[in-house]
Structure 1
Amino acid sequence: MPDEDDAERRLRKLALQHAETRWLALRLDNDAKEIRGTQREHTRRFDGIDRRLDGIDGRLDGIDGRLEGIDGRLDRVDRELQEHGGRFDSLETSMRSLTQMVGQVLERLPESPDKH
């Protein structure tokens, strides 16, 4: 009967291994379902983040356009300031020249007799 006992032991061992394998397969299946659920949730979150980022990109594009307009206006104002600065320098030079000429004319005028 050793062969029968041995066969029974092997059969019980195989049944136990089969049960363990089935349990592991079920556990693996549950883990896969949980991972897929988590993956769907993360995908949904990432899609939401992508939509928000697209909105932010659109707003940034609008801001970039406004900044370019401001840069253009600042460039025009800078050119105008340079032109006015040049005019002011020219006027200042003319005023100094006129002041010197008036000073020279005043020096050449004879002194009035009342001052003596």
Structure 2
Amino acid sequence: MKWRSILERQALWDSETAIDLRLSEAEAVELYRNAPLHSLMNAAHQRRNAMHGAQTVTYLIDRNINYTNICTINCQFCSFYRPPGHAETYTQTIEEISSRIAELE
């Protein structure tokens, strides 16, 4: 299936009938690999408008929990990592991670 036909089918979503048009894994991969970013952005914008109206913006409360900052890749752009044995390394316990997740509730 080509990316254009996937996005055209997604445009048929209607909040009144609530037709379930979830993407299959193959469709998601097709869009990821081949659809132009601006086409995906436009499709997402149109779906949001159809679901919530043009005057409503939605968001997701999210958190990126890094369980450790130990890394051996040595990226030239990363200021987050610490090499093994460095004084500032950390690895969070399950309890610490669970506590940070609970903060989102």
Q: TM-score, normalised by structure 1?
A: 0.16
Which structure is higher in RCO with an 8 Å CA cutoff and minimum separation 6?
A: 2
Greater share of residues in helix: 1
Q: TM-score, normalised by structure 2?
A: 0.17
Give 1 or 2 for the bigger CA radius of gyration: 1
